[in-house]
Amino acid sequence: MPDGASIMARVRSRGADLRLVNGALRIVNGNRLDSTARDYIMQHRQEVRAYLEAERDFEIEERAALIEFDGGAPRQWAEQFARVLYSQRPDGVSDLEWSWFMTACGRMIDEAPGRRAA
């Protein structure tokens, strides 16, 4: 049985990518893959989904560590902000509004009184 990492490596080597968007598997630059490759991906979507979720969890953990240690934020704040950074923009929220929200969250962490006191 193929693993998600090897499938992702093959997909990315062809100039395409796979993403989880609101829980659904999406192919980016799918025109770079032939129909056999797309069918293969769909047959093994559970393995790919598990790999992408683990990859996202690792990236969130890594980002949280940077926010905590380099930014001096409490761990709980760092974990929550890292999750927000990797979340999808909600439906009905414009790019400008989402950018403002993300910036405001970062500013609150940066400017919080006593955040480095611990």
Burial of 24 (0-12, 13-18, 19+ CB in 10 A): exposed
Structural domain boundaries of the chain?
4-111
How high does pLDDT run on average in the chain?
A: 89
Q: Evaluate whether 51 touches 4 at the Cβ level (below 8 Å).
A: yes
Residue 115: pLDDT over 60: no
pLDDT band at 15 (very low <50, low <70, confident <90, very high): very high
Q: What is the pTM of this model?
A: 0.72
Task: Pick 10 or 21 by higher pLDDT.
Answer: 10
Burial of 49 (0-12, 13-18, 19+ CB in 10 A): middle
Q: What is the phi-psi region of residue 34: left when phi exceeds 0, alpha when psi lies from -120 to 50, beta otherwise?
A: beta
Percentage of the residues of the chain whose pLDDT score is greater than 70: 94
DSSP state of 104: H
Measured in whole angstroms, how far is the alpha carbon of residue 85 from the centre of its chain? 8
Question: How much is the average pLDDT of 4-15?
Answer: 93
Per residue in 36-72, pLDDT (tens digit) is: 999 999 999 999 999 999 999 999 999 999 998 888 8
